[in-house]
A and B are shown apart, each in its own frame.
Chain A
């Protein structure tokens, strides 16, 4: 029972309370709260305009919420200075964009893309940087001999895997993902999902993943948060929310999807 004890006594890594973001009179997201524990994957689902992307950008520090608190490892992130916030974004946090072009430097080689975060935190040994980059390319199943190729020469799936390697190389504890399988073919999606699952398990990552694809969260997320019109309408274990949805909207969402 020790594992159970650990899981239950650990403090949340990310604690969000009353998060609200308005765009003038329109609500981006309202009164969102949750706790994310180490090693947990939280899926946020909802249709376009449900506020899931607004929520993610507020969480990741891309936008400033109007109200609420975000505690990371006990520290009030919204009270951070710009310098502290950006240090977080290149150290303990990572952000995987839907479009890999937004998260990669397209004019820089694969190795340079992976190495950038290392150099940003002070790595100054070329051989060591290159070794880490090679190791990480391997972990995301990119052949070592592609290390000096630019991402523009990669397929969409490879670009996305490269973006993940670039994000994880500094060992972040919390990863935000915005529709990471969005633009990919189904077969490529499966490979990426498998990869992500393995990385989450092996590195003990905590993940907040936003998607409209219920199949993705079924396979990746431990817990689910369903959003509609900027508000959280239902939360729970992923399989419980998908198999026994309580809220009218979730029932509609689940029943609208071909077998997940």
Chain B
């Protein structure tokens, strides 16, 4: 489902003397349906950079990232947008929403964008928020005022609202208590069971051991760090 070949990337800092910093070279990776692959490597090795490239958030230098039938590296923006809408989900560490929008709407939005009927979208959002123990009295409020842990759970609910065939998870269990961590791990297991291909970064070793089928060390893709 997700197939990365010979991927490379460097940042050119035009306003700092045009210095070019290579951050990735020769990355290879494959995630099949129903599989969860964890990215490991020390901080700064490029785990987040790789995830961002897969999501189309960072531009790749060379190589290919195939998700289903689309190569993200050469795709048109609108193709990537369509991919993000229907195929590729992403749970980031940061919740970025329009202030003032109620939590329930934030979670339902990915479904609304797909054309799901508002009632059905909100019902699904409510189900996920309840599962993630966000008290119902908060659903009408904007998540911008929530605690870090609550925001993280809203973000997860939003990321799991639609049954994406492929999912990117960036530390989904960070800053969660044991009970909610368990809920998130179950959600991941359920996604795998329905055939989703998952690529994730898990600093929580217990979580990593439980949901990941394989681990890929990105240090091997880092220019200057490769052994």
Is any CB of A less than 8 Å from a CB of B in the complex?
Answer: yes
Write the nearest CB–CB distance from B8 to chain A, whole angstroms.
14
Contact A1/B57 with A223-B77, A252-B15 known, Cβ cut-off 8 Å: no
Q: Are A243's CB and B15's CB within 8 A?
A: no
Complex: how many Å from CA A4 to CA B68? 11
Complex: how many Å from CA A194 to CA B101? 7
Complex: how many Å from CA A247 to CA B13? 9
Contact with A along B108-126 (1 / 0, CB 8 A): 0100111100000000000
Interface size class of A (residues with CB under 8 A): 20 to 34
Provide the residues of chain A in CB contact with B109, threshold 8 Å: 201
Q: Which positions 82-98 of chain B face chain A at CB distance < 8 Å?
A: 82-83, 85-87, 96, 98
Contact A40/B52 with A191-B100, A240-B58 known, Cβ cut-off 8 Å: no
Q: Are B99's CB and A240's CB within 8 A?
A: no
Write the nearest CB–CB distance from A30 to chain B, whole angstroms.
21
Complex: how many Å from CA A147 to CA B67? 51
A202 nearest CB neighbor, chain B only:
B112
Complex: how many Å from CA A201 to CA B57? 22
Q: Are A236's CB and B59's CB within 8 A?
A: yes
Among A190, A240, A248: residue with most chain B CB under 10 A: A240
Does A17 belong to the interface (CB within 8 Å)?
no
Complex: how many Å from CA A237 to CA B57? 8
Write the nearest CB–CB distance from A58 to chain B, whole angstroms.
22
Does B80 belong to the interface (CB within 8 Å)?
yes
Does A127 belong to the interface (CB within 8 Å)?
no
The one of B78, B101, B113 that contacts A8, using a Cβ cutoff of 8 Å: B78
Contact A244/B112 with A190-B100, A191-B100, A252-B15 known, Cβ cut-off 8 Å: no
Write the nearest CB–CB distance from B176 to chain A, whole angstroms.
25
Does B225 belong to the interface (CB within 8 Å)?
no
Does B79 belong to the interface (CB within 8 Å)?
yes
Q: Which positions 47-64 of chain B face chain A at CB distance < 8 Å?
A: 52, 56-59
Provide the residues of chain A in CB contact with B15, threshold 8 Å: 248, 251-252, 255
Does A239 belong to the interface (CB within 8 Å)?
yes
Does A219 belong to the interface (CB within 8 Å)?
yes
Complex: how many Å from CA A123 to CA B41? 66
Q: Are B68's CB and A248's CB within 8 A?
A: no
Sort A-B residue pairs by CB-CB distance and give the 4 closest, nearest first: A248-B14, A7-B82, A190-B99, A244-B58
Write 8 A-B pairs (CB below 8 A) sorted by A numbering: A1-B69, A4-B86, A4-B87, A194-B98, A201-B109, A236-B77, A244-B57, A251-B14
